[in-house]
Amino acid sequence: MKTINTISSILLLALFSNPVLAEIKVTTVAEIEVTEVNKQGEKIVKRSKATRVVPGTEVIYTITAKNTGTEPADNIVVTNPVPPQTVYVDGSAFGAGTNITFSVDGGESYNTAANLTVKDAAGKPRAATVEDYTHVRWTLQFSLQPGQEAPVWYRARVK
């Protein structure tokens, strides 16, 4: 009896003294779309890893956050800098159940597309265009349950 009690208290101690093993794992994939004609003569659009890229190519960045832990994760915010040699493709950002905002000041602040302004050469504010975007941000409006994945994506065109 005493041994069992000791063992169970050790186990209990072990449970409460270990850190919470909740993890988010993030993977990013860059792809391009390739149009192929199948045997029936139909055009099929396939995605493949971005390798053959030239100015003008549209690259699709897909970022997937996965909860690999045992606890739900909240307040998840995914941020991706738009590579400087590319331009964000207007309206291409998507993420189910997320609020999407952009930064035009190198990631200092974020706002919805309609509210973004930059200063022109004379210092006057003007509405920001996609050429001004430096970052894309997705703020998940839901908790990511253990084992759940949330992919978000956008397109960038190589200058």
Partner 1 sequence: MSCTVDPVGDSRGRRRDPQRISPPGHGVRHAVTARRLMLAMLLALWLPQSALALGTSAGIDISNTATVVYSIAGSSDSVNSNTVTFRVDEKLDVNVTWQDATNVGVATPDTNQVLTFLLTNTGNGTDSYALSVQNALGGDQFDPVFVDIYLDANGNGNFNPGVDTLYIPGTNDPVLGADATQTVFVRNNIPAGLNGGDLGNSQLTATSNTGSGAPGTAFPNAGDNNTTAVVGTSGGSSSAIGTYEVTNTTVSLLKSVVISDPLGGNQPMPGATMTYRIDVTVTGPGTANSVVITDPIPANTTYTANTLTLNAAALTDVVDADAGDVGDTTPNTVTVNLGNLTPASPVQTITFEVIIN
Distance CA 44, CA 159 (A): 26
Distances in Å between the alpha carbon of 96 and those of 29, 37, 140, 154? 18, 31, 8, 12
> What x/- string results for residues 107 through 146 when contact with partner 1 is judged by CB under 8 A?
------------------------x------------x--
57 vs 147: CA distance, rounded Å: 34
Q: Which residue lies nearer to partner 1 by CB, 55 or 125?
A: 55
Q: Which stretch binds partner 1 (CB under 8 A): 8-16, 21-29, 97-105, 117-125?
A: 21-29
How many residues at the interface with partner 1, by CB under 8 A? 43
Neighbours of 135 (CB within 10 A): 19
**CB atoms near residue 46 (< 10 Å):** 10
Element (H, E) at 13: helix 2-17
Q: Which of residues 37-96 bind partner 1 (CB under 8 A)?
A: 49-56, 59, 61, 63, 65, 69, 71-81, 83, 85-87
Site residues (vs partner 1, CB under 8 A)? 20, 22-30, 49-56, 59, 61, 63, 65, 69, 71-81, 83, 85-87, 131, 144, 157-159
